Structure 1
């Protein structure tokens, strides 16, 4: 929080304002987030908002930056099982936090603070989860080539952005999720650092 000199800011009010901001983002979108609407819903003064966050982007960044939209799954015994668990959330409709994040994806292209919020909510947790899955795979004797691991992370992130920007509620069928894992994700990491693609046949 930025804050200004004066009496200490109430943490209870701060939490209330953040919760209201998330509600507005999730229900109405980034374009409807403003101090008037937040103040009315929270029954608070606008001055209290601007003492904490100088802009709506700063407020939204703080609100969504506290989310962790990707969690490391329990060890499933194989990289495929771990990937299925990692992306199992794709079978569920977007929840409140995800709808709030989805509302700022477009604006984040032009607003650095919103991008930072998305990084904290999705990009960094996803990268950490992918690294952990690779560590587990290496411990099982199946190391993942670093370049392929980076590609896996990029493809997973692209699917997550698609979840937030596509029409509908974001949910995929379980069959579709397993198809993505088997036909897209697993093949990306199928070649380890010691393997090479076969040379194309010559005629």
Structure 2
């Protein structure tokens, strides 16, 4: 996808023209399919036009290049589940790690596919931060704040370490694409790796 070599033609960019939401969603969904099934290097205006039936001109109006399109796809992903309110920090963290009990879903597969490419793309790194880093930060803040509200103390260092460990677990999941595990193993991860750092002083 390279506007410098493929001209949009007479149906070029129109300043101030609003996006067609349904068409945009169709392109983004099609782009996600292409990336997951064929890899990010196969993403192009021609590939998207073939998959979605949307003209190359319409694609160029929305995204100047592949990096911008990839970043938007990733930003729209929701690979981090909402953290449940189970009444305990342990239960909340076990619920947060529910993805480990199943194979990677569609959004996770996209993140796993583009992760290495983000090293060379600031836009894609920003998309991954929006999709993974910020939701995990929010989940940690929610879980710890609930724990404190129940009358427990959490050292500042413990809050930071919990966030770092969870982020490391998430990246490791996408890099290694492990098989689904059991609820028992997830609970052991929480008991042996996560809760001790929250309780440290």
Q: Common fold, TM-score beyond 0.5?
A: yes
Counterpart for residue 173 of structure 1:
182
CA distance in 1: counterparts of 2:177 and 2:146, whole angstroms: 35
Q: 1:113-144 CA deviation, whole Å, 9 max, x = no partner?
A: 11111111111011001000010000011121
Q: CA deviation at 1:7?
A: 4.8
Out of 140, 149, 153, the position equivalent to 1:139 is: 149
Q: How many residues end up aligned between the 2 structures?
A: 189
1:188 aligns with 2:190: no
Q: Cα RMSD over matched residues?
A: 1.6
Does structure 1 conserve the Cα–Cα contact (< 8 Å) formed by 2:100 and 2:180?
yes
- The match for 1:201 is none
8 A Cα contact 2:78 2:107, kept in partner: no
Distance between the aligned counterparts of 1:159 and 1:113, measured in 2?
23
Cα deviation, residue 41, structure 1? 0.4
CA distance in structure 2 between the aligned counterparts of 1:108 and 1:91, rounded to whole angstroms: 27
CA distance in 2, matches of 1:9, 1:139: 44
Gaps of 5+ in 1: 196-203
C-alpha contact 2:104 2:177 (8 A) present in aligned 1 = no
Over residues 57-115 of structure 1, what are the superposed CA-to-partner deviations in whole Å (9 max), with x where a residue is unaligned?
10111112012222332211211111111111111111111111111100011111111
Which residue in the other structure is 1:200 paired with? none
Residue 97 of structure 2 corresponds to residue 102 of structure 1: no
Question: What does 1:5-84 align with in structure 2 at a 5 Å threshold?
Answer: 5=15, 7-84=17-94
Could you list the runs of 5+ residues in structure 2 that have no partner in the other structure?
1-12
Q: Which residue of 1 aligns with 2:134?
A: 124
- Runs (4+) off by over 3 Å: 6-9
Query: What does the per-residue CA deviation read over 1:21-50, in whole Å, with 9 as the maximum and x for residues that have no partner?
Result: 111122222222222111110112212111
Please tell me whether the aligned partners of residues 154 and 198 of structure 2 are also in contact (alpha carbons under 8 angstroms).
yes
In the aligned structure 1, how far is the partner of 2:174 from the partner of 2:42? 18
SS at match of 2:58: helix
